Amino acid sequence: MPELPEVEHLRRTLEPLLLDRRVARVQVRRADVVRAAGGGTAPARGRPAGLLAGRRITELRRRGKYLAIVAAGGPVLLVHLGMSGQLLFLPPGRQAPRRDHVHVIWRFDDERGGRMIFRDPRRFGRLTLIDSVASLEEFWRQRLGPDALVLRAGDLAEAFGATRRSIKCALLDQAVAAGIGNIYADESLFRAGIHPMTPAGALTRTEARRLAESIRATLSAAIRAGGTTLRDYRDGAGRNGGHRPNLCVYGRAGLPCRRCGSILGDLRLAQRTTTYCPRCQRNWLSTTHPHPGGG
């Protein structure tokens, strides 16, 4: 489930544990989680050019759901957690809570010691080695829209144009805004009072403004709570996120809306379960084509 808030919280918890430290050596136990920028059959596969071995970490950056571990002199380890990926720092002597599906281990041999592990049962996650920060920015620029945490209404209007695709599908498109996944798409649309099937290009200026505000507020609140743990998510120190009890719609189909008490409905959009409040999120179909005597 790692979406923007989980990756940002991970970044914040890992940064003090990694910053200014030199990676002593790297053990790759499953080479197929490693890629090189620019292609799936890249030569780095299986021989990941060290994955920062011998390098000093200078910075942890994030854009959308990507986490970039930047080393002195240029190389960048780009991490995408997919559905079940975890990056976990283990102090000296500490065992991983689970030792299965650990694919990569970075060891530190300075006086603080310890190691970082990449664990990913489903293996949808990817580690990508990129040669420089400039290449990283280019990689991101090609794939990602503006970071959803600082998204503005104008960004949405520009990305949507006159498209008739549903707003829910558009929000899941990382080229529209980077970092929103299934949980926070539903939560943001609920907060904005917008039905998930509304054509994205049909949003009014007011709705776009309210949606951008709702996205920022939804993501910020989730970061403050340390992210949402459904099953696999842990932060850099192995802690669960605390945001799950705050969710208004995700995972609550059939339960009463926290705002109005109506029973939350669900539908399937882009193969993703979509939960919404039929009252708080006005159905654009019924308002666009009102039934005689209705509404």
Which residues carry out catalysis?
2-3, 65, 272
Q: From CA 17, how far away is CA 159, in angstroms rounded?
A: 37
For DNA, which is the closer residue by CB, 35 or 191?
35
Contacts of 273 (CB under 8 A, 6+ apart): 182, 253, 266
Report the candidate in 59, 57, 58, 65 with the shortest Cα–Cα distance to residue 8. 65
Instruction: Give me the least distance between CB of 45 and DNA, in Å please.
Output: 13
Among positive and negative, which fits the CA dihedral 228, 80, 105, 18? negative
Q: Which amino acid is at 148?
A: A
Instruction: Give me the least distance between CB of 16 and DNA, in Å please.
Output: 22
For DNA, which is the closer residue by CB, 71 or 88?
88
Q: From CA 14, how far away is CA 288, in angstroms rounded?
A: 48
For DNA, which is the closer residue by CB, 108 or 190?
190
Contacts of 40 (CB under 8 A, 6+ apart): none
For DNA, which is the closer residue by CB, 108 or 160?
160
Instruction: Give me the least distance between CB of 145 and DNA, in Å please.
Output: 12
For DNA, which is the closer residue by CB, 95 or 292?
95
For DNA, which is the closer residue by CB, 21 or 191?
191
> To 10 degrees, the CA torsion angle through 26, 90, 246, 60?
-50
What does the binding site for DNA look like in residue numbers (CB under 7 A)?
1-3, 6, 32, 64-65, 80, 82-84, 100-101, 121-124, 143, 161, 163-166, 169, 172, 174, 181-183, 201, 228-233, 269-273
Structure tokens given for 41: 């059959």
Q: From CA 211, how far away is CA 111, in angstroms rounded?
A: 48
Burial class (CB in 10 A: 0-12, 13-18, 19+), 61: middle
The position carrying tokens 């299934």 is 182
Contacts of 53 (CB under 8 A, 6+ apart): 23, 24, 25, 26
Instruction: Give me the least distance between CB of 40 and DNA, in Å please.
Output: 8
Q: From CA 245, how far away is CA 242, in angstroms rounded?
A: 7
Instruction: Give me the least distance between CB of 162 and DNA, in Å please.
Output: 7
Instruction: Give me the least distance between CB of 34 and DNA, in Å please.
Output: 14
Report the candidate in 134, 282, 112 with the shortest Cα–Cα distance to residue 197. 282
